[in-house]
Structure 1
Amino acid sequence: MKQAMGWKIGLFLMVMTGATGSHAAEINLSSATDFTRMELLLKDHDRLHSAFEMNVTLSPEAAEHMQRITHESIGQKLTLSINGWKISTATVQSALGAQFQVSIPKAIAKDLLPTLVD
């Protein structure tokens, strides 16, 4: 009886995980190969943020990959990493193209920024 109950609970948990758990899509960009332009806003007196803003232009190949991944992930979570550093996870509202802006938390920027200069 205990074994049957344990099996049913295990099956229920697996079904619920599959039904409710959605894994975030991930995209890892390399500043050396995927970016053709980066502009970093380090300070803006008019804006009080705990993050740096970076405008990015992707290479044609990276832009195609980004557009495909974001288009397939609309309404789902997407984790963006740059040079192996997790920058953010957000729900995709629309497909991204070659140009976009990303907010980099200051705590991550201290480690990420040195890797951007190659």
Structure 2
Amino acid sequence: MTDTAALYQFAHGRTGDKGNRSNISVIAYDARDYDHLVEHVTEDAVRALFRERRPTAVTRYLVPSLQAMNFVLDGVLDGGVNDALNLDTHGKALSFRLLQLEIPVPPRLVSGTAASH
């Protein structure tokens, strides 16, 4: 059995919007964990996490120089700021939802070679 933990223990995030599109960045706290995050925080995982919002497309962009990745989710903001009737028309809370994603604990932390955040 693999030990898992919420993504927020290994990364932080930011959210932006443009129309009905949400843009969510995930940035590793520790550069040593970046490759592990890339392996486990995939387009499929994000699509499944946001399935109730019915994204029409999920695209991931990698930014290794910043130990970051950016997800663009189309069709998830109920039409955008001017059309949405929900309380979070800009989708700012979506990064918090993504940071709840359960992923395997990075191997360097399972072996006890470093303290977790």
TM-score, normalised to structure 1, is 0.37
Relative contact order, higher structure (CA 8 A, sep 6+): 2
TM-score, normalised to structure 2, is 0.37
Structure with greater proportional helix content = 1
